[in-house]
Amino acid sequence: MSVRVRRVQEPPEPDDGVRVLVDRLWPRGVSKDTARVDEWPKALTPSAGLRRWYHAGEGSYEEFRARYEAELAAPEAAGLLDHVRALAREGPVTLLTAVRTPERSHAAVLARLLET
């Protein structure tokens, strides 16, 4: 299985495979043509409350990860996670995000869960 995380602002590459936007909001300054997003499962993204809590600096990345994984256990999110996992079994999947530090974001949590 090949899952990687890239910033949506980076130009698409031929080996991206299925490009999945994993942010709840469309990234500012990026056109839909430029982004070349194949799927945008909004229910797979962190809740607004969790996102605000984490970005306010109220907790650690580890605590954010645990809370986000708990949200991903909800039926709709779990179903979408299974869908993206199935896509990854068929070929490469690139998780796209606008965050500045993707390695300490929800996208990294998703990538780890998809590879297990």
Read off the pLDDT of residues 10-46 as tens digits, 9 standing for 90 and up: 999 999 999 999 999 999 999 999 999 999 999 999 9
The pLDDT, as a whole number, for residue 102 is 92
Helix (H) / strand (E) element for 20: namely: strand 18-21
- Both tokens assigned to 114: 């998809």
**Measured distance CA(88)–CA(76) in Å, rounded:** 19
18-21/3-7 β-pairing: unpaired
pTM: predicted TM-score of the whole model, two decimal places = 0.93
Place of tokens 């936007």: 21
Per-residue pLDDT reduced to its tens digit, 77-93: 999 999 999 999 999 99
Is the pLDDT assigned to residue 107 strictly greater than 80? yes
Q: From 15, 21, 17, select the one nearest 35 (Cα to Cα).
A: 21
